[in-house]
Structure 1
Amino acid sequence: MQAWQVHENGEPGAVMRLDEVAEPQAGPGQLKLKVLAANINFPDALLCRGQYQVRPPLPFTPGVEICGETPDGRRVIANPALPHGGFAEYVVVDEAAVLPAPPALDDAEAAALHIGYQTGWFGLHRRAHLRSGETLLVHAAAGGVGSAAVQLGKAAGARVIGVVGGPEKARIAEELGCDLVIDRRADDLIAKVKEFTGGKGADVVYDPVGGDAYAKSVKCVAFEGRIVVVGFASGVIPTAALNHALVKNYTIMGLHWGLYAQKDPASIGRCHAELTALAADGTVKPLVSERVALKDAAAAVQRVADGITTGRVVIVPEGAAR
């Protein structure tokens, strides 16, 4: 079968190589899946660069989120275990961890539902306890992680401020339903948030960016507001000024979604049931901006790494998706 492999660390477009490898064989407690669609996540780019917290042995196949087909014809979503990721024609996964693909979503959409939306749901509900009527500020609102948070925030009854970079991303954030869109390149973010909230600030900030995004967030977070730290797409990990958190009475909370699989795996299934229901009534629908062939995966991962994509870019092996 064909699978993309990384033989040395570097930029995805330079180090990913499409190889012919043996098909994986399922062991006890495992399932062999035909890959119908594989979603590209920013951590896939970091894995190629050797900058992710997990560093699989070389060579490895990226791809941590797929929609696949079981030998008995069921359509499921799963997280392949590295070093044998989902940018391939077949993968082997832990049978206990597979989840049914929502019938309301096609293969590419289903592949893009799991990590981003689970992260958003746990971040907004389990960690920040977002309430109807509150103001939610989402950084990188037109991206894969941000667009999921926007949809989940609207579903929870929040007023959503979307922060983006550039007019095209602003248009997408508006289409997603943001009540206010701020172009960080052209607008005064802090002033806009204060004006929109009547000087109060944002009750919840969802930050997958870090760096300057975090620095501005602490200046416009509300009294008893909550800042959810999801990631550092900017490449800059900010240092929290705890004296500032003290005098302004806000909370800084981290979210590592993967830990729930270890600490409370049943919660992932409960969350998936809620997301499936939201997908069924059309409240959430992953924003898939590109569907690319397997042969074009390296270039697609590079675009995600460069931050020039919107929504989700999904790899669809030829003849696989329905």
Structure 2
Amino acid sequence: MRAIQITEFGGPETLVEVDLPDPEPGPGELLVEVDRAGLNYADTHQVENSYLARMELPLVPGGEVVGRTPEGRRVVVLTTDGAGGYAQKAVGPEATAFDVPDGVDDLTALSMVVQGATAWLLLRRSTHLEPGETVVVHAAAGGVGTLAVQLARRWGAGRIIATASTEEKRALAVELGADVAVDSAAEDITAALREANGGRRVDVVLDMTGGVVTDQSLAALAPFGRLAFYGMASREQPTPIAPAALLSHTTTVTGMWLPHAFGLPGRVVHRAMAELFDLVLRGELRAVPGGEYGLSEARRAHEDLRARRTTGKLLLDPSR
């Protein structure tokens, strides 16, 4: 089969197209003939081995695929490490597979399994959004951000403040339901967020940027405010937080990594996916297409991701 494989860690230049034997599913795993694979910013960390799960070489990157099993089931599934989605066939645990309802296309299925579930968990479990609260969504034109804006609006946020790097991205965030959009390159994010909230501090921040954005977002939180940290796109560490600072400002900082959610009791991710698919089928939640790349264009896709030239959900087509 055609696949992208890396044999050394690094940047987009390490992504090389090769021919490989079909992967073999182990106990409790599914073999999937891939129709589309999802492209995520986390993939760029995976390729340089800078993400939370340490990788072993050689590996086929990519964390999610949609396609059919040999029995004909149409599923979206998170893939097994090393046998990822940048290939014509992939393997994933049955426990992370979800049957795709009729009426849900490939783009939407892939948007929901990582970005949608992440947005759901950030708002429902990490920050416990209450009706009427002000929510800040950083990177609001990205895969998680576009869905988080829509969900926050549906779940009663009093004011949604989006941040994004271009006028086009900020306009998209407002179209999706944000009340106001702020330039993510603002010199003083704290001041920009408070100004966008009528001079008041904010209640909830969803942050996947890191570095100074995290520092300044924390400074914008109201008492009992919560910041949920779920990525580090800037590749910069925030300033260490002293417990006394949390106490003095009555704030909460939480982290969220999707794989941990599969260990929660009550099949939480499955409940999230069922609710997300239901919202999609009722026309109350939509995935934002961000473009499609052929397998041979994987390197360019990573270059675009790292340069922040993308919006919405990106797909990889292994047939070309």
TM range (shorter): over 0.9
CA distance in 2, matches of 1:278, 1:89: 30
- Report what 1:151 is aligned to: 150
Bigger drift between 266-275 and 19-28 goes to 19-28
Go from structure 1 to structure 2 and tell me whether the alpha carbon gap of 1:77 and 1:152 turns closer, same or farther (over 3 Å shift): same
- Correspondences of 1:1-322 after superposition (within 5 Å): 1-12=1-12, 14-158=13-157, 159-186=159-186, 189-238=189-238, 239-264=240-265, 266-318=267-319
Q: CA deviation at 1:265?
A: 6.8
CA distance in 2, matches of 1:216, 1:258: 28
> Structure 1-normalised TM-score?
0.93
CA distance in 1, matches of 2:26, 2:166: 48
Aligned to 2:169, the other structure's residue is in SS state helix
Q: CA deviation at 1:302?
A: 2.3
Check whether the contact 1:105–1:285 (CA below 8 A) recurs between aligned residues.
no
List runs of 5+ in structure 1 lacking aligned partners.
Answer: none
CA distance in 2, matches of 1:35, 1:273: 22
- Aligned residue pairs total 318
Aligned to 1:136, the other structure's residue is in SS state strand
Q: CA deviation at 1:199?
A: 3.3
Bigger drift between 55-64 and 239-248 goes to 239-248
Check whether the contact 2:2–2:318 (CA below 8 A) recurs between aligned residues.
no
CA distance in 2, matches of 1:56, 1:265: 29
Q: CA deviation at 1:46?
A: 0.8
Check whether the contact 2:107–2:313 (CA below 8 A) recurs between aligned residues.
no
Check whether the contact 2:45–2:51 (CA below 8 A) recurs between aligned residues.
yes
Check whether the contact 2:137–2:206 (CA below 8 A) recurs between aligned residues.
yes
Question: What is the Cα-based RMSD across aligned positions, in Å?
Answer: 1.8
Q: CA deviation at 1:72?
A: 2.5
Q: Deviations over 1:16-58 (max 9, x none)?
A: 1111011123343322111111111112111111212223221
> Structure 2-normalised TM-score?
0.93
Q: CA deviation at 1:299?
A: 1.2
Go from structure 1 to structure 2 and tell me whether the alpha carbon gap of 1:106 and 1:160 turns closer, same or farther (over 3 Å shift): same
CA distance in 2, matches of 1:53, 1:187: 30
Check whether the contact 1:160–1:178 (CA below 8 A) recurs between aligned residues.
yes
Check whether the contact 1:108–1:291 (CA below 8 A) recurs between aligned residues.
no
Go from structure 1 to structure 2 and tell me whether the alpha carbon gap of 1:258 and 1:173 turns closer, same or farther (over 3 Å shift): same
- Identity %, equivalent residues: 35
Check whether the contact 2:194–2:201 (CA below 8 A) recurs between aligned residues.
yes
Go from structure 1 to structure 2 and tell me whether the alpha carbon gap of 1:43 and 1:111 turns closer, same or farther (over 3 Å shift): same
Q: CA deviation at 1:99?
A: 0.5
